[in-house]
């Protein structure tokens, strides 16, 4: 029997497969985009949505999804902790630079909300797999 090495099969996917490499590159790209957007003057950052909180939510939702895809062998809690620590460090850097506290807290909560929204379906799916299918 041959091993299933397709993208959507149940077999192993090679570490150097094109989608594995693309996942790692997307993680680096998403993290860099967030850092650049965070430290650019607000006039230079395009508004993708009307709310800055929604932008933070979306950015960290995408970053968390990229991290989940790029780091398949890392424990889920470690991926969540790393992304959460990244969000905290970025907001803390702005706080140390003298930015007002209230919008930074709102941004941080939106960052963590995006992280939670990306990770919640994985947790639910893991919970669902614990229940065997009913006999017919």
**SS3 of the chain: helix, strand, coil, percent, to 5:** 70, 0, 30
In this prediction, residues 86-97 reach a mean pLDDT of: 90
- pTM score of the predicted model: 0.86
In this prediction, residues 16-39 reach a mean pLDDT of: 92
Name the residue among 42, 20, 34, 130 with its Cα closest to residue 90. 34
3-state secondary structure of 114: helix
Count CA atoms closer than 13 A to 9's CA, side-chain side: 9
Q: What is the pLDDT of residue 66?
A: 97
Q: What is the pLDDT of residue 135?
A: 81
| pLDDT(5) > 60 | no
Rounded Cα gap, residues 44 and 36, in angstroms: 10
Rounded Cα gap, residues 51 and 49, in angstroms: 6
| Top-confidence residue, 11 or 30 | 30
Q: What is the pLDDT of residue 28?
A: 97
Whether residue 71 contacts residue 79, with contact meaning beta carbons closer than 8 Å, is answered with yes
In this prediction, residues 115-131 reach a mean pLDDT of: 95
| Top-confidence residue, 42 or 77 | 77
**Alpha helix locations (H) across 15-129?**
18-39, 52-70, 76-96, 101-129
Compute the mean pLDDT over every residue in the chain, rounded to the nearest whole number.
Answer: 88
Q: What is the pLDDT of residue 30?
A: 97
Whether residue 16 contacts residue 60, with contact meaning beta carbons closer than 8 Å, is answered with no
Q: Which residue has tokens 């029997």?
A: 1
**Domain ranges across the chain:** 18-129
Per-residue model confidence as pLDDT tens digits over 13-24: 788 888 889 999
């Amino acid at each position: 029997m041959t091993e299933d090495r397709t993208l959507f099969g149940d077999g192993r996917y090679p570490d150097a497969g094109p989608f594995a490499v693309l996942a790692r590159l997307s993680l680096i790209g998403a993290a860099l985009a967030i850092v650049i957007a965070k430290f650019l003057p607000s006039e230079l950052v395009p508004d993708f949505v009307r709310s800055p909180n929604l932008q933070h939510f979306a950015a960290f939702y995408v970053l968390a999804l990229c991290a989940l895809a790029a780091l398949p062998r890392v424990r889920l809690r470690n991926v969540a902790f790393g992304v959460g620590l990244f969000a905290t460090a970025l907001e803390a850097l702005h706080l140390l630079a003298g930015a007002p506290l209230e919008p930074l807290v709102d941004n941080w909560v939106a960052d963590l909300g995006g992280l939670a929204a990306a990770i919640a379906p994985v947790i639910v799916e893991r919970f669902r797999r614990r229940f065997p299918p009913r006999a017919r």
